[in-house]
A and B are shown apart, each in its own frame.
Chain A
Amino acid sequence: MKRNVKHKSPTGLALARMQKHKLGMLGLYLVTIMSIAVVLIPYIVSVSPDETRPWIGAQRPFYSHPDCSVDNAFTVGEAAETTERASASDELVYHVQQQQRVSYRVTVRRGKIHTIQSGAVSTNRLDLTTPGLEAYELMADGSRGRALPGVVILKGEEPPEGLFPQGERVLILDLSSTADSSRVTVGLTDGTVLFITEEHSGSENPAAAIDSITVRGEAVTSVVGLSSGKRRELTVRHWFGTDELGRDLFVRVFYGGRISLLVGIVATLVSLVIGLAYGAVAGYAGGRIDRVMMGIVDILYALPFLFLVILLMVTFGRNIVMLFVALGAVQWLTMARIVRGQVLSLKEMEFVEAARIGGESVFSIVFRQLVPHTLGPVIVYTTLTVPVIIMGESFLAFIGLQVQYHGASLDSWGALINRGVQSLGQNGENIWLLFFPSLAMVLTLFGLNSLGDGLRDCFDPKRSSS
C-alpha cells in the first residue's frame, strides 16, 4: 500500500479523470443522494411505512388529513392512545362527525331500474323521501356531489325524473341521516389523560366530563392541538399521496429503495466474491487449469439463467438469502472473466515476481498482490451489475416471486411499480402510485449506469466515448 503514496496509482489517476466526467459525476451525485435518502429515511421521517389508514384510501399527492389513528382511545389517568405527535400536545380537540353513511349503487338497464344495491346486497325499493334523510351523489374521489331529489326508486320501473343525469345509466348515491357532530376535548400531561369532555352540537346540554372514549379516526373531521400555548390544527400531509391502504407513499418509496438497493448490493457482492475468487485462481494458475475453468464459464454462459433463477426461487422460495445467491450466482461469470484477464496480464509483472521470490504464499500473492490491482475494472463492473439485479428483482416481483423483507410489509421498487401499474385507471386515476416509484427507480438506475459508464471511461481512457 505504501507504493500508492509515492506515485499516483492507476486508480488514483482514474479518479482524477472521473472528476471531469460530467455524466459520471451526475450519476455519482444521484446515487449518493438516493443512497443517503434511503438509509436515513427512518431517522428523517417519523411516519411509519406500514401504518394503514384504510378509510382514506388512495389519495393524490399533497393530500392532507387530520392527524389521528384508526382508534383514538382515551381513559382518564391512562396513557393516551393516538398518534405520537397528537399525544405530545397539552390539549386535543377532536371534531367528530358521526357518519351513518350508506352508499347505494343504482343502475339502469334497457330503460328500467335494474339494480338497487348496497354492497352486494340488493333491494327492490329505495325511498329517498324519508324526513331527515339526505341523499347525495357520491363522486369518484369520495366527495359529495349534487343533492338528489326526494323520490322513490323501484326496481323494474322507469327511473324517476331528475335522478339520473342525461344519458347516464349508473348512479352511486350516498345516504346519511342528519349528521350528529360532536366535539371531544382531551387534556393531557406528558401523554397521560387528565380529563375528557364531550359536547354535542345542537344539544342544549353543556360539555359533559366523561371517563373514557374511543374516537374513530374515520369520523374525525379535524384535530386541533394546544401545545406550549399555541393552538393549531394537526394534519398529516402526504407529499407523494397515499396507496389504497392509506399508507404514505413518500415513505414507502424510500423504504422500498432500501429493499431494492439491498438486494442489488448484496447480490452483487455475492457475484463479486465468487467471480473474484474464481477468476483470480484461473488467471494465476494459467495453463490447463485456466482452460478448464474458463471452459466451464463458457458452458455456464450458455445457460438460460432466468430459468435457473425462477427454479431456484421456486425451490428455495421460503428463504430470502436464496434470492441473493440466485441473483448473484447469475452474474459472477463476467466478473470471473474480467478478473482472470487482469490477473493473467499482471502476474508476469515485477512486483509479483518480487513477492514470489520473497517467499509469499500463493494465496497471499493472489489475494494481496494481484486482486487489489484488478480493482478498477471490478469497480466498474460492480457498479453496472447493481442495476441489472434491481431489474431482475422487479421482474421476479411481477411473476409473483417477490422478495419478502422480514417483519415489515414493505415492497421493493419493482413491487411498488407493479402495484402502480395494476391500479392505474382508464383516465389515469392513481397515476401517482406508478409515477413516484418509477421516478425513484429511473433516477437510481440512471445514476448507477452513468456512474459505471463514467468509471469505465476513466479507467480505460482509450475506450472513452464522450
Chain B
Amino acid sequence: MPESDSWKSTKQHLIFNNNTEPETLDVHMMTGSPELRLAISLFEGLTSLDPGNLIPRPGVAEDWKISDDRTVYTFRLRENALWSDGSGLTASDFVKSWERALSPATGGAYANLLFCIRGAEAYFKGQETDFTTVGVRAVGTHELEVSLKSPCSYFLELTAFPTFYPVRVDMVEKHGVKWMQPEQLVVNGAFKLSEWAPRQHVILVKNEHYWDADFVKLKKATALPLDDLNTAYQLFLKKEVHWLTGIPQARVEEIRRHPDYFVTPFFGTYFYRFNTTRKPFTDSRVRRALCLATDRREITHHILKSGQLPISTLCPPISGYEPVGGLTYDRDAARKLLADAGYGEGKLRFPPIEILYNTSEAHKTIAEAIAQQWKRNLGITVSARNVEWKIFLNDTKDLLYQVCRSSWIGDYGDPSTFFEIFTGDDGNNRTGWANAKYDELADLAAKEPVQAKRLEIFAMMERILVEEDCPIMPIYRYVNEGMLAENVYGWYENIRDVHSLKYIWLEGE
C-alpha cells in the first residue's frame, strides 16, 4: 500500500470529516452533532467547557456570582470580548439572542433548554408577550443577570450549549435567512466562517478578533461532509484527512489494527422501545421476559466489536450518578416470566412480533441478532422490518409499532437529560407508557436542591424504568470512534465528543 509519510496539508490547516452536510449554522436551530461540532468553534457562550473533563470554564463571561438560593446568576462579561467584525460584545447581545431563541418563529428544537430561566416557558408558549418578564437582564454593558425558575445544578453547563450562544440579531434582521453566509456571518468564537460550499466543504479560519486569539494555534480548518465512511477512511489512509469522526462499521476488525484508530465511551444509549399500548406488551412481565432473553454481550462483543459496553440500564454514569438495577441475560428466568404471563405450551400462543428499525446496516444486524435470540430463547416468532427514517419517526410517534430501535444522547451532564423523556407527557416518550410514581419522582428531582438526594431519586426512577416496568430495553452504550492523525495535538478524549478547534494544533509543520 503506498502511503505517504506525512499528512499532506501544511501550515496549521486541519482537515476533518464531519460525516454529513450541516443543516444550518444557526445556533438556535441546530440539533445534530455535525452542526454542534462547527458551532463550538465559531461561537462561544458565557461559559465554555473544559476540553478534557467538560467542567464549565469562563467563556465570554470572565466571572460570575451565584446568589445564596442558587437561582440568580450574575455574569461579568469580558471587556475584550469582541465580535468578528471588531465590535464589542455586550450583555444586551445575550438578552436579544435569548429572546430570539425563545421565539417559536425561530424554529429551534432546543428552545426548551431555556425553560429553566424564570418566565421563559410562559413567554415561549405565548402566555406572556413581554420579554421583560423573562428572567434575563442586562445590568450594564458587561453585566448580565439571569434568574432561574428553581435551582439548576447544571446551568453553567447549559450556558456553554449552542442554544445559549449569542448571535448578532441586527445582522439576522438585516440579511434574513442569508445571515449565516460567509460574507455576513459575524461570530464571537475562536474561528470564523470563510467558505461554505454545500456538500463539498465548510472552511473555518482563525478569528483574529477573538479575545483569546493568542492561544489559538490552528489557522484554518476544513470540514468535509462525507457520509460514505468507506470513502472517508480511504482519504485518511491517503493522509488527506487528519481526523475522522466515524468509521465504516463493517470494517471495524480491520480498522482497529490501525494505530491511529481511537475509541472512547460516549454519552448515549442504544435501546429498544416497547409499545406498551399493544398486546402482548401491555403486560410488564412480557416486556421483562424479553429484556431477560437478550444477550447484550453477544451484540457488543461479536457484532459491533468496537468496545461498546453491554448494558441493561439507561443513563450512563455522570455527575456522580452510578447506574443501578437492570435485567441481564437469564434465559430460564425469561421463560418462567413468559409462562407466568400466560404464554407457552398448553397456554396462550405468543403472537408473532416485529422489531421496527430505520434503515441502516448496523440497526439491521442488531435487530436480526435480537430476533434470533428471542426466537431461540423463548420459542416465539420474531421478525425484523426496516422503514426509512421519516416513516420510522412517524410510526414510533404514533405508536404504530410493537418493538422499535431507539437511542438517546444526553444534551447536558445531568441524569435528568435521560430520565425526563420517559415522563408520561413527554413528546419523546413514544412508548405509550405512563407511570404516576415515575412522574412524581421526576418532579421531585427537578425541585430537589441537594445533589446527593437527586441522585437517589434518579436511581429509583431507573429501577422503575429498566427493572420493574421495562417500557424500554437498554442494549449498549455508544462509543466515539474514529481516526486521529499522529500529528494532531490538543485533542482530548471526552464522553460528550466535544472538541473545540480552539485547543487543537498540528505538530511538526
B contact residues around A177 at 8 Å (CB)? none
Given A71-B331, A400-B388, A426-B237, are A172 and B302 neighbors across the interface (CB < 8 Å)?
A: no
> In the docked arrangement, what's the CA distance between A404 and B386, Å?
7
Residue pair A119, B376 in contact (C-beta under 8 Å)? no
- Asked if A54 is an interface residue, CB under 8 A from chain B, the answer is yes
Given A70-B298, A110-B486, are A140 and B253 neighbors across the interface (CB < 8 Å)?
A: yes
Determine which residue in A54, A105, A169 has the highest number of CB atoms from chain B within 10 A of its CB, and name it.
A54
Residue pair B308, A119 in contact (C-beta under 8 Å)? yes
Nearest neighbor of B295 in chain A, beta-carbon distance = A70
> In the docked arrangement, what's the CA distance between A108 and B26, Å?
40
Residue pair B259, A400 in contact (C-beta under 8 Å)? no
Partner of B306 from A108, A120, A424, A427 at Cβ < 8 Å: A120
Given A423-B251, A426-B237, are A401 and B302 neighbors across the interface (CB < 8 Å)?
A: no
Distance to closest chain B CB from A33 (angstroms): 29
> In the docked arrangement, what's the CA distance between A429 and B295, Å?
28
Residue pair A120, B248 in contact (C-beta under 8 Å)? no
> In the docked arrangement, what's the CA distance between A55 and B266, Å?
25
Distance to closest chain A CB from B227 (angstroms): 12
Residue pair A140, B257 in contact (C-beta under 8 Å)? yes
Nearest neighbor of B384 in chain A, beta-carbon distance = A409
- Asked if B369 is an interface residue, CB under 8 A from chain A, the answer is yes
B contact residues around A131 at 8 Å (CB)? none
Distance to closest chain B CB from A418 (angstroms): 8
- Asked if B391 is an interface residue, CB under 8 A from chain A, the answer is yes
CB contacts between A and B, total, < 8 Å: 131
Residue pair A402, B386 in contact (C-beta under 8 Å)? yes
* Cβ < 8 Å to B, chain A residues 96-151: 105, 107-110, 115, 117-122, 140
Question: 1/0 contact trace for A389-426 toward B, CB 8 Å?
Answer: 00000000000111010111100000000010011111
- Asked if A57 is an interface residue, CB under 8 A from chain B, the answer is yes
B contact residues around A429 at 8 Å (CB)? 251, 253-254
B contact residues around A401 at 8 Å (CB)? 359, 388
Residue pair A55, B302 in contact (C-beta under 8 Å)? yes
Residue pair B253, A409 in contact (C-beta under 8 Å)? no
Partner of A422 from B230, B261, B262, B303 at Cβ < 8 Å: B230
- Asked if A245 is an interface residue, CB under 8 A from chain B, the answer is yes
- Asked if A299 is an interface residue, CB under 8 A from chain B, the answer is no
Distance to closest chain A CB from B334 (angstroms): 12
> In the docked arrangement, what's the CA distance between A206 and B369, Å?
39
- Asked if B213 is an interface residue, CB under 8 A from chain A, the answer is no
Given A170-B259, A409-B371, A422-B248, are A70 and B376 neighbors across the interface (CB < 8 Å)?
A: yes
Partner of A404 from B376, B377, B385, B481 at Cβ < 8 Å: B385
Question: 1/0 contact trace for A65-77 toward B, CB 8 Å?
Answer: 0000111010000
* Cβ < 8 Å to B, chain A residues 225-275: 244-246
Given A54-B298, A406-B383, A422-B250, are A109 and B365 neighbors across the interface (CB < 8 Å)?
A: no
B contact residues around A424 at 8 Å (CB)? 251
A contact residues around B388 at 8 Å (CB)? 314, 317, 400-401
Nearest neighbor of B478 in chain A, beta-carbon distance = A120
B contact residues around A118 at 8 Å (CB)? 307
Q: Interface majority SS on A: helix, strand, loop or mixed?
A: loop
Nearest neighbor of B300 in chain A, beta-carbon distance = A119
The tally of residues in B whose CB lies under 8 Å from a CB in A reads 57
- Asked if A50 is an interface residue, CB under 8 A from chain B, the answer is yes
Question: 1/0 contact trace for A25-62 toward B, CB 8 Å?
Answer: 00000000000000000000000001110110100000
Distance to closest chain A CB from B405 (angstroms): 14
> In the docked arrangement, what's the CA distance between A120 and B316, Å?
14
- Asked if A291 is an interface residue, CB under 8 A from chain B, the answer is no
- Asked if B264 is an interface residue, CB under 8 A from chain A, the answer is yes
Distance to closest chain B CB from A107 (angstroms): 5
Given A109-B486, A120-B309, A422-B248, are A172 and B257 neighbors across the interface (CB < 8 Å)?
A: yes
- Asked if A20 is an interface residue, CB under 8 A from chain B, the answer is no
Given A109-B486, A408-B383, are A120 and B264 neighbors across the interface (CB < 8 Å)?
A: yes
- Asked if A318 is an interface residue, CB under 8 A from chain B, the answer is yes
Determine which residue in A73, A244, A408, A425 has the highest number of CB atoms from chain B within 10 A of its CB, and name it.
A244
B contact residues around A117 at 8 Å (CB)? 263, 307
Partner of B391 from A120, A318, A402 at Cβ < 8 Å: A318
* Cβ < 8 Å to A, chain B residues 202-251: 230, 234, 237, 248, 250-251
Residue pair A119, B307 in contact (C-beta under 8 Å)? yes
Given A109-B486, A245-B369, A422-B361, are A54 and B302 neighbors across the interface (CB < 8 Å)?
A: yes
Distance to closest chain A CB from B252 (angstroms): 10
- Asked if B1 is an interface residue, CB under 8 A from chain A, the answer is yes
- Asked if B11 is an interface residue, CB under 8 A from chain A, the answer is no
A contact residues around B265 at 8 Å (CB)? 120-121
Residue pair A51, B372 in contact (C-beta under 8 Å)? yes
B contact residues around A169 at 8 Å (CB)? 259
Residue pair A50, B302 in contact (C-beta under 8 Å)? no
Distance to closest chain A CB from B30 (angstroms): 24
- Asked if B448 is an interface residue, CB under 8 A from chain A, the answer is no
A contact residues around B230 at 8 Å (CB)? 422
- Asked if B387 is an interface residue, CB under 8 A from chain A, the answer is yes
A contact residues around B125 at 8 Å (CB)? none
Nearest neighbor of A55 in chain B, beta-carbon distance = B302
- Asked if B479 is an interface residue, CB under 8 A from chain A, the answer is yes
Distance to closest chain B CB from A243 (angstroms): 9
- Asked if B256 is an interface residue, CB under 8 A from chain A, the answer is yes
Residue pair A425, B256 in contact (C-beta under 8 Å)? no
B contact residues around A107 at 8 Å (CB)? 259, 261
Residue pair B368, A120 in contact (C-beta under 8 Å)? no
B contact residues around A400 at 8 Å (CB)? 359-360, 386, 388
- Asked if B258 is an interface residue, CB under 8 A from chain A, the answer is yes
Partner of B254 from A51, A314, A317, A425 at Cβ < 8 Å: A425
> In the docked arrangement, what's the CA distance between A401 and B392, Å?
13
13 A/B residue pairs, CB under 8 Å, sorted by A: A50-B372, A55-B302, A73-B331, A115-B262, A120-B266, A140-B257, A169-B259, A172-B257, A244-B250, A317-B387, A402-B386, A409-B384, A422-B248
